[in-house]
Every structure is written in structure tokens, then in C-alpha cells.
Amino acid sequence: MTERTLKLRRLGEGPPLLCLNGLTQTTANWTTAGRALATLGHGVLLTDLPGQAGTEPLPSGTPEAQAQVVWRWLDGLGIRSLDLCGFSYGGRVALQMASSQPERVNKLVLTSTSLGAGTVARLVVESWLEALDRGGLEALGWAAMPWIIGDGLLRGVEPAQMVQATVRRNSAEGIRSLILGILNDHPPQLEALVTETLVVAGAEDRFALAVEQQRNAQRLQRGGFVALEGLGHAVPVEDPKTFAEVVSGFLAR
């Protein structure tokens, strides 16, 4: 595995909580939710995974490969144990981290995380790859938006601005590696996971359906589930305050 030095962005003081980005996100997307979590007493750690924010992708963008990079980075920071929170693609990475080194993960939060169980979800991801290859990041942004942005957020922003933000912050090569990583992902057996885990879903999520996320939670040895009404896929962005309160409440138990 090629060694990578990830950049650290830290919000607040307190027990470390690593929040991992979704597919085309950067740490900027965590700013509001991260500050809310910091206010609630958590030491929020943020980083862009290889392939995100224009960084050089890994030879394999699978969540398993990403998890190895993140653990080595945390070793370098001297962080032995922590809480993990992953959004969407970041949830896949967090799950691989908890599976490979469970003794280091205090609690795990999986937010809007589809594990590819549904045929439709896989076809959607394949369509994103097709859009990227045919029309670049802008085409991908438009193709993904109806699936990953809830109605409430779409009413409050200009869609073209969101697409342009995706284009500015990423590279086609990097995002392509992450999409292929999703398509080649082999999630660990949920029944074998020993970490206490909360699955957080947007009740109106069109991509990672709440009912599928609830089924995943029921497979966990120590799993809980909450669906947030009126929210789509991008839960931490659509309602960062409620999201932070739910996550902090779980971590404090």
C-alpha cells in the first residue's frame, strides 16, 4: 500500500470523532455539522480521502483500501482509539475500519450508507460512472443530484451552484476511482461487527432507502436505527443541528 499523508482539519476539543466524507464531498461539507458536534463536546477530525478534493487517488479506491490508509494516518497522529462517523461512501470506509480494528473504535455511526444490497442502487452508481465518462464532473453532478439531495435542500439552493461546487472541488480521475471502489466493494458481514453502531437515515432518501438501512441495522449485534423525517440522502448537510444532536446523544450513552 502506497503511504499517504492526509490533511487534518480539527474542530473543537474533546474525545476524538472522525467524520468521513461522502463520495464527491470535501471537509467543507462537514463545516456546519462539525461545528455543532464540537459545541456538544466532541473533538471533530476531518480529512479528505485519497481521490477527494482533487487529491491523488489510490490504485484501488475501495473502502477497504481507504480504511488501511486512514488507520495508518491515525497511527501517525498518535490516536489509538476514537469514535467514527461516516456519511454515504465515508460510511463504507468507517465500516471497514471498524471491522478491521474493532478494538480501536469506541462507537460507530453509519449515515445514509447504502451497502449495495439493492439492484437499483448499483445501477444508479453505474449510471454515475457512465455520466462521468461521457460528460465529466458536471454531467455527474447533474446525474447524481436527484438521488443525493433532499427536496428541502433543493428548494433552498441553486442546483447549478451545487454542480459547479462539485466540479471545482474534485478531479474526474479521483471521483472515478471512488465510484469504481463502490462497485468493487465487499462490505464485511454486518452480523460479525462487534462495535456498538447507530444507523442514521433520511426518511426521504431516494438512494440509500431508509427501509434498507433499517434492515442493515437489524443485522448488527449492537445496532440501533433512527430515521429523520423530511430529510433526503445528505442528512448532515440538510439538517446539521438535528444530526449533531442525534449523533452526540448516541455517543454519550
pLDDT tens digits, one per residue of 7-43: 999 999 999 999 999 999 999 999 999 999 999 999 9
**Beta-sheet strand order (sheet of 9-11):** 9-11, 43-47, 16-20, 82-87, 105-111, 196-202, 223-228
116 — pLDDT class (breaks 50, 70, 90): low
pLDDT over 70, % of the chain: 97
Residue 187 has pLDDT above 80, yes or no: yes
* For residues 147-158, average pLDDT: 86
Domains, the chain, ordered by start: 9-252 (3.40.50.1820)
Instruction: Answer with the residue of higher pLDDT: 151 or 180.
Output: 180
What does the pLDDT look like over 212-227, one tens digit per residue?
Answer: 999 999 999 999 999 9
Are 207 and 233 within 8 A, CB to CB?
yes
What does the pLDDT look like over 48-95, one tens digit per residue?
Answer: 999 999 999 999 999 999 999 999 999 999 999 999 999 999 999 999
Residue 117 has pLDDT above 80, yes or no: no
**Angstrom distance (rounded) from CA 114 to CA 201:** 10
* For residues 117-124, average pLDDT: 81
**Residue 189, Cβ neighbours under 10 Å: how many?**
8
Are 38 and 44 within 8 A, CB to CB?
yes
**Angstrom distance (rounded) from CA 127 to CA 35:** 34
Give, in order, the Cα–Cα distances in Å from 219 to each of 50, 75, 115.
Answer: 30, 30, 13
166 — pLDDT class (breaks 50, 70, 90): very high
Element (H, E) at 37: helix 31-39
Residue 242 has pLDDT above 70, yes or no: yes
**Angstrom distance (rounded) from CA 164 to CA 170:** 10
Cα first-last separation, the chain: 37
Q: What is the pLDDT of residue 1?
A: 41
**Angstrom distance (rounded) from CA 88 to CA 83:** 17
In three-state secondary structure terms, 240 is helix
198 — pLDDT class (breaks 50, 70, 90): very high
Q: What is the pLDDT of residue 4?
A: 67
